[in-house]
């Protein structure tokens, strides 16, 4: 029987899709067959089911939206389930992996699965867009700012993208709502005979001329903390917070280039691209209620200041209480849960070693020599000459790089020499 099932599954086309279901009451993953006349969900265990028993979905996006909407509203108690759209080819393995995750996950970690569920609200909003109807739902997250017809698909083809490809990746809908794509999208640029491939997040924006354009946000290896960001110089603590949680955790005054105004803002790191993103505090929207807990003014103030807020007795989708920390994210423009999977696990020592390698190669317009860079990276003092002040007068001195604040320190007389002698004196030990 098992061999027959395996042969059947191997014959399934990789492009076909089906549904997995999470029973919230029992935390079990099963494969969907359909719904009976009484509104009861028909499903089966993923180890026993064969390919002719599972629900087969049309790969065309509009057909899926219609099918899922009709399927969902036939269910007697749809709120008892969470549905996940997966390829038929990988359905069984995905079900196994998902069950293992659910078995080991905490209540907070299970909340992360909402990002991957099929949302009935999003599906019905998409149906309204596909049918040419105006979306009347007043919730901001379901509004479409742009129509697919407004996108320059000829230009998109030049970078290797199409409307179908973006739909398959789950990237089209967020773009139409005015957000960045939730995943990295592979793009390619051709300059003559040279083809450059990279991964980037995409978004749609209207230009000053009124045209809809696609913006690309390529992946950076790391943020460049040695440069100022809208006039802000990052402290070592700022860098640590941005690399660990993605949020800097405090309000700072940023100088915006168009007006030159200093405006209180928060800074977060795009965890996919490592871009630094700012949001003005007057544009922040703090929710009144988070998972059943009504926030008081003191709690709202903590979130407006960019700090971490610990909330107790929140109500999960399964009806159980849980505690978690939340914080406002400038990139996502909402209050997020700070689970372990949100953080890039960096120990303090690793962050210091990373920062140590980022000593700038220039100081006051003079390029530093290799031996000077080595000394500075090692935390030692380097002598530098040939510097020129604003009056054109040359001068020289001693240079050191402070890793805690990410800045050079300069001294004409080497004020660190006494500390060096004191340290070296201790190492000699006591005379006998």
Q: Give 338 or 64, the one with higher predicted confidence.
A: 338
Helix (H, G, I), strand (E, B) or coil at 388: strand
For residue 180, what are its two tokens?
A: 């960045």
Length of the chain: 432
Across 36-50, 164-178, 282-296, 351-365, least confident range: 351-365
Residue from 15, 47, 23, 405 nearest 232 by CA: 405
**Which residue did the predictor score with more confidence, 4 or 372?**
372
Based on the fold, state whether residues 293 and 364 are members of the same structural domain: no
Domain end point (choices 316, 342, 368): 342
345: confidence class by pLDDT, cuts 50, 70, 90:
very low
> C-alpha 334: how far from its chain's center?
12
Same domain, 46 and 119: yes
Q: Give a yes or no: residue 137 inside a domain.
A: no
323 lies in the same domain as 283: yes
Q: Is residue 352 part of a domain?
A: no
Low-confidence winner among 53-57, 112-116, 251-255 (lowest mean pLDDT): 53-57
45 or 423, which is more confident: 45
- Band the pLDDT of 264: cuts 50, 70, 90: very high
Q: Are 363 and 338 part of one and the same domain?
A: no
Q: Look at residue 55 and tell me if it is in a domain.
A: yes
Name the token pair of 174.
């967020």
Tokens representing residue 400 in the block: 């050191």
CA distance 257 to 160: 33
Local structure of 292: helix, strand or coil: coil
Whether 329 and 415 share a structural domain: no
pLDDT band at 250 (very low <50, low <70, confident <90, very high): very high
Query: Tokens standing for 374?
Result: 């080595």
pLDDT reading at 298 higher than 80: yes
What is the strand order of the sheet 309-315 is part of?
309-315, 321-329, 334-337
Given a contact cutoff of 8 angstroms between Cβ atoms, the answer to whether 285 and 295 are in contact is no
> Are 337 and 363 part of one and the same domain?
no
| pLDDT range class, residue 269, cuts 50, 70, 90 | very high
CB 384 within 8 A of CB 400: no
As a whole number, mean pLDDT of residues 310-320 equals 82
pLDDT, average across residues 268-272: 90
203 lies in a domain?
Answer: yes
Whether residues 314 and 367 share a domain: the answer is no
pLDDT digits (tens, 9 = 90+) for 179-236: 888 888 888 877 777 777 888 898 888 776 777 888 888 888 888 888 899 999 999 9
Alpha-helical segments (H) within 169-285: 172-176, 236-244
H and E: helices and strands count for the chain? 13, 20
Judged against a pLDDT cut of 60, whether residue 351 lies above it is answered with no
Q: Residue 347 falls within a domain, yes or no?
A: no
Query: Residue 269 is part of which domain span?
Result: 236-342
Whole-number percent of the chain with pLDDT over 70: 77
**pLDDT averaged over the chain?**
76
Whether 303 is covered by a domain: the verdict is yes
Whether residues 188 and 242 fall in one domain = no
Give me the half-sphere count of Cα atoms (radius 13 Å) on the Cβ side of residue 93.
7
Does residue 26 sit within a domain? yes
Query: How many CB atoms are located within 10 Å of the residue 231 CB?
Result: 13
Same domain, residue pair 258 and 323: yes
Domain final position from 166, 191, 218: 218
- Does the pLDDT at position 344 exceed 50? no
- Total domain count, the chain: 4
For residue 143, the model assigns a pLDDT of: 54
- pLDDT of 352 reads 42
Residue 229 and residue 297: Cα distance in Å, rounded? 31
Give per-residue pLDDT as tens, 52-111: 556 777 555 556 777 787 788 778 778 788 888 887 767 787 888 888 888 888 777 777
Q: Is residue 349 part of a domain?
A: no
| 94 lies in the same domain as 28 | yes
Q: Are residues 70 and 18 in the same domain?
A: yes
Residue range 16-67, pLDDT digits in tens = 678 888 988 888 888 888 887 777 888 888 665 555 556 777 555 556 777 7
Claim to verify: residue 25 and residue 104 sit in the same structural domain: yes
Read off the pLDDT band of 242 (50, 70, 90).
very high
């Amino acid at each position: 029987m098992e061999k027959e099932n395996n042969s059947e599954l191997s014959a399934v086309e990789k492009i076909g899709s089906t549904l997995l279901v999470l029973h919230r009451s029992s935390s079990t993953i099963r494969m969907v067959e359909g719904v009976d006349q009484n509104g009861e969900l028909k499903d089966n265990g993923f180890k026993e089911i064969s390919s002719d028993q599972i629900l087969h979905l049309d790969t065309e996006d509009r057909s899926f939206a219609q099918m899922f909407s009709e399927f969902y509203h036939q269910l007697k108690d749809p709120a008892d389930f969470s549905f996940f759209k997966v390829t038929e080819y990988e359905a069984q393995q995905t079900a196994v992996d998902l069950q293992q995750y659910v078995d080991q996950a905490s209540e907070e970690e299970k909340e992360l699965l909402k990002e991957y569920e099929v949302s009935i609200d999003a599906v019905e909003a998409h149906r309204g867009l596909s049918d040419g109807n105006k979306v009347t739902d007043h919730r901001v997250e379901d509004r479409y700012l742009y129509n697919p017809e407004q996108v320059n698909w000829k230009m998109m083809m030049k970078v290797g993208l199409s409307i179908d490809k973006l739909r398959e990746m789950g990237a089209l809908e967020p773009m139409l709502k005015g957000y960045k794509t939730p995943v990295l999208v592979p793009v390619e640029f051709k300059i003559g005979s040279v083809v450059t491939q990279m991964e980037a997040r995409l978004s749609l924006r209207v230009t000053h001329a009124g045209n809809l354009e696609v913006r690309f946000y390529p992946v950076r290896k790391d943020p460049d903390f040695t440069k100022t960001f809208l006039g802000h110089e990052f402290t070592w603590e700022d860098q640590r917070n941005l690399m660990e949680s993605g949020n800097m955790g405090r309000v700072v005054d940023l100088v915006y280039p168009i007006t030159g105004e200093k405006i209180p803002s928060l800074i977060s790191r795009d965890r996919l691209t490592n871009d630094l993103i700012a949001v003005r505090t007057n544009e922040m929207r703090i929710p009144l209620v988070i998972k059943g807990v009504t926030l008081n003014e003191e709690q709202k103030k903590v979130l407006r200041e960019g700090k971490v807020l610990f909330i107790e007795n929140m109500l999960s989708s399964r009806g159980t209480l849980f505690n978690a920390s939340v914080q406002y994210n400038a990139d996502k423009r909402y209050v997020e849960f700070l689970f372990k999977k949100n953080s890039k696990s960096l120990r303090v020592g690793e962050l210091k070693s990373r920062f140590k390698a980022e000593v700038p190669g220039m100081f006051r317009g003079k390029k530093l020599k290799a031996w000077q860079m080595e000394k500075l990276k090692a935390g030692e003092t380097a002598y530098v000459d040939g510097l020129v002040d604003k009056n054109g007068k040359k001068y020289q001195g001693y240079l050191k790089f402070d890793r805690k604040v990410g800045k050079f320190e300069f001294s004409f007389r080497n004020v660190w020499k006494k500390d060096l002698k004191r340290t070296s004196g201790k190492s000699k030990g006591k005379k006998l």
